[in-house]
Structure 1
Amino acid sequence: MNQNVFIELVNPFKDKVFRLAKRLLTSTEEAEDATQEVMVKLWNKKENLDAYNNVEALAMTMTKNYCLDQLKSKRAGNLQIVHNNFTDREPQLDRKLEDADSLEWVGKIISQLPEQLQILIQLRDVEQYEFEEIAKIVNMNETAIRVALSRARKKIRESMVNAHSYGIR
């Protein structure tokens, strides 16, 4: 496989690899390093990539594994998992402040979930992967993924209702 074919193959999902890495590692620099590392690993496997049904799923799995390894290593001991992949449109200032506050709460709530649930939320709700693709990436069956996501969303929803209903958290 030549360089141009490889680039055409990985370009459509390179940003998704970065976003997953950023989700897990928080630091933009660490996410860039992770993305580069995954791309190098894919490049080294370029002659065998045709054997894989879904190169994107392979790349996402490699990214997840690399990032989790980094989080466990001493070098990344000070990293936290946070949620900050949302962008605002242009509503009124008060709405912007409300939205920012809500996003901050959701980010805090998500960061308190177990790593596996954070990954599932990132892949399904942010990256919009299908359940079949997620199952391949995280090595779970689709039913377990649906149940886990349902419970995670319920926990997020309950926490948000409690935060907004009582005003104190």
Structure 2
Amino acid sequence: MKQSEFLKTVMPFKDKVFRVAKRLLVSTEEAEDATQELYFKLWKNKSKLKDYKSVEAFAMTMTKNYCFDRLKSKQASNLKLVHSNYQEKDTPLQRRVELNDSVSLVHKLINNLPEQQKLIIQLRDIEEYEFDEIAEQLNMQPTAVRVTLSRARKTIREQLTKQHNYGIS
């Protein structure tokens, strides 16, 4: 595989790889390192890429595994999972504060989910992958992905409701 063919194959999903790495590793620098490491590994194994049905799914799986390895390493003891890309304009100040509080609360609730649920929420609700793609990347059945996503959303919904109804009898 020549360089131009390699770039044509792997560059379309570079941003997705970065976003998943950023979601898992938090730090922009760590995510950039993870993305660079992934592309280095893909380049080293470029001759084998044609054997994969979906190079993108393979790359996303590699990204997930690399990030989990980083999070498990002693170096990464200060890394945590967050996501914040919410921004709205032309909203009254009080409403913006309320929305920011709600978004922050959702981030905290997502952080309290088990790792698999966090990742599935990231891939489905933020990256907008299909259930089959997520199942392939995580080596799960599509039904299990749906169930896990449903449980994660239900947990978040219950916690949000509990938080918003606090003190109301």
Q: TM-score, normalised by structure 1?
A: 0.94
Rounded to whole Å, the distance in 1 between the matches of 2:152 and 2:64 is 19
Q: What is the root-mean-square deviation of aligned Cα atoms in Å?
A: 1.4
Aligned counterparts, 1:128-143, within 5 A: 128-143=128-143
Residue equivalent to 1:117: 117
Identity of aligned residues (%): 59
Q: Shift in Å at residue 91 of structure 1? A: 3.4
149-158 vs 42-51, which moves further: 42-51
Rounded to whole Å, the distance in 2 between the matches of 1:123 and 1:159 is 21
Letter in 2 for 1:21: A
Residue equivalent to 1:108: 108
Rounded to whole Å, the distance in 1 between the matches of 2:122 and 2:166 is 28
Given that residues 109 and 159 in structure 1 are in contact (C-alpha distance below 8 angstroms), is that contact kept between their aligned partners in structure 2? yes
Letter in 2 for 1:20: V
Aligned counterparts, 1:9-158, within 5 A: 9-84=9-84, 86-92=85-91, 93-158=93-158
Deviations 1:40-75 (A, max 9, x none): 111111112111110000000000000000011111
Residue equivalent to 2:4: 4
Query: Unaligned regions of 5+ residues in structure 1, if any?
Result: none
Rounded to whole Å, the distance in 2 between the matches of 1:164 and 1:11 is 43
Letter in 1 for 2:118: Q
Deviating beyond 6 angstroms after TM superposition, the runs of 4 or more aligned structure 1 residues are: none
Rounded to whole Å, the distance in 1 between the matches of 2:96 and 2:4 is 43
Question: Counterpart of 2:129 in 1: which secondary structure?
Answer: coil
Count of paired positions = 167
Question: Counterpart of 1:166 in 2: which secondary structure?
Answer: coil
Rounded to whole Å, the distance in 1 between the matches of 2:88 and 2:104 is 16
Query: Unaligned regions of 5+ residues in structure 2, if any?
Result: none
Rounded to whole Å, the distance in 1 between the matches of 2:45 and 2:112 is 36
